[in-house]
Structure 1
Amino acid sequence: MLRFMPVGDSMTIGSAGEHTWRYRLWQHLCATHGGPFALVGPRETLYDKATDAPTSYAYADPDFPRAHLAGWGEGWLHMAPLIAGAVRETRADVLLVSLGLIDLGFYTNAEQTAENVRKFVTEARSANPRIRMVVLPVIPNIRAETEDLFAAEVTLFNELLAKAVADLDEPRSPLLLTSPPPSYDIHTDTYDGTHPNTCGEHKIAEAFAGAMHQAWGWGQTYVAGTS
């Protein structure tokens, strides 16, 4: 059985009342993967905006494996120290990673964030030397439209991320960088300029699914209307 662990920030944990892209990808894999799999991780909740805490189980459709390692306001900086333990605990085979926006926005510059990517990979491999990782580039949010310096940091980080993935990729533990989500538009695919709405959830899931299908032959072409 393949064990997939979604790892991310607020775009991955989602908030109360949402489906999340995790759900959309799970639906797609159920329909197309052709083999046993599970979503794993040490956490299950959504973020509750009313209490400002990750305490909600109010998924739009709770009937799916909700496990993940994602947190509202958490980035590469926060996940690098946690990933080895999470991989050991869950015996994860594949990490689906969407991180970086919160790092660049509040904690670290592009170079420092890229260094934390490398620490994350090292830590994950210390727990499973054959771990696979699929990594989503940072999607520029509404802040990048109004702050040129922030937009430049996002662009630089994505370049450094691509280099880190290329440098660290190895046959026994493949690293795969997805293409940006197809036709993603923060004005139509998010509800606030950052966090995905239904359309955005599908497009993020499609980015992960498409990368795995193209590189590894897993699943099939993503069709949003059936997921």
Structure 2
Amino acid sequence: MLRFMPVGDSMTIGSAGEHTWRYRMWQHLRETYGGPFALVGPRETLYDKATDEPTSYEYAADCDPSFPRAHLAGWGEGWLHMAPLIGEAVRSCRADVLLVSLGLIDLGFYTNAEQTAQNARAFVSAARAANPKVRTVVLPVIPNVRAESDAEFAVQVSRFNELLAKAVADLDEPRSPLLLASPPPSYDINLDTYDGTHPNASGEHKIAEAFADAMYQAWGVGEPYAAD
């Protein structure tokens, strides 16, 4: 069984009432992956905006009840927070493939591009220490609405994405492949988010598509993504 762990920030954990891109990915793999698989992780909840806590189990009403909600994602958490957690998460959940979307919150509140890239490298090292054969797909930071009005933040996002690409190239190895997904080419924060940052239904599909197509093209996992 191939065990996928979604890792991310608020765009990955999602909030109460949403499907999340994790659900879209699960649907895609269920339809296209030719063998047994699971979504794994030490957490299951969504973020509850009413209580400002990650305590909700209220996924969208039409979510399939058999959806495995497991993940390692947190509202307001980034590479800085996940690097110390990923080793134990990989070990305890026996993760084979990490689907990682991190960096926006780091650059917005915690670390500059260079520091964030160092935390990304530390994350990869810790994941491999837990599973020397772990495969990882990393999504570059998608600039959000802040990047439109804050020029320095936009520069930091661009710089980090350059450093992330370099880190992936430096650290990729046959035993533990490291793959940089392509940002969704048609992603539009005015159409694919509900607030300029967090994905709506179309944004969820496009993020899932970025991961799915990267795995198909590089590793032959599943098939090209097709949104419902």
TM-score, normalization by structure 2: 0.98
Q: Which runs of 5+ in 1 are unaligned?
A: none
In the TM superposition, 1:137-152 aligns within 5 A as 137-152=140-155
User: Structure 1 CA distance, aligned partners of 2:123 and 2:155?
Assistant: 23
Partner of 1:155: 158
User: Structure 2 CA distance, aligned partners of 1:215 and 1:122?
Assistant: 21
Matched, 1:126 2:150: no
Matched, 1:58 2:61: no
- 1:158-193 residue CA offsets vs partner (Å, 9 max, x unmatched): 000000000000000000000001300000000000
Partner of 1:186: 189
Cα shift at 1:48: 0.1
Structure 2 SS opposite 1:43: coil
Partner of 2:30: 30
- 1:194-227 residue CA offsets vs partner (Å, 9 max, x unmatched): 00000000000000000000000111111101xx
In the TM superposition, 1:1-227 aligns within 5 A as 1-60=1-60, 61=63, 63=65, 64-225=67-228
Structure 2 SS opposite 1:6: strand
Structure 1 SS opposite 2:5: strand
Question: Which amino acid is 2:140 matched to?
Answer: P
RMSD: 0.5
Query: How many equivalent residue pairs?
Result: 225
User: Structure 2 CA distance, aligned partners of 1:221 and 1:44?
Assistant: 27
- 1:97-137 residue CA offsets vs partner (Å, 9 max, x unmatched): 00000000000000000000000000001100000000000
Question: Which amino acid is 2:55 matched to?
Answer: T
Question: Which amino acid is 1:11 matched to?
Answer: M
Runs of 4+ in structure 1 over 6 Å off? none
Question: Which amino acid is 1:178 matched to?
Answer: A
User: Structure 2 CA distance, aligned partners of 1:181 and 1:62?
Assistant: 25
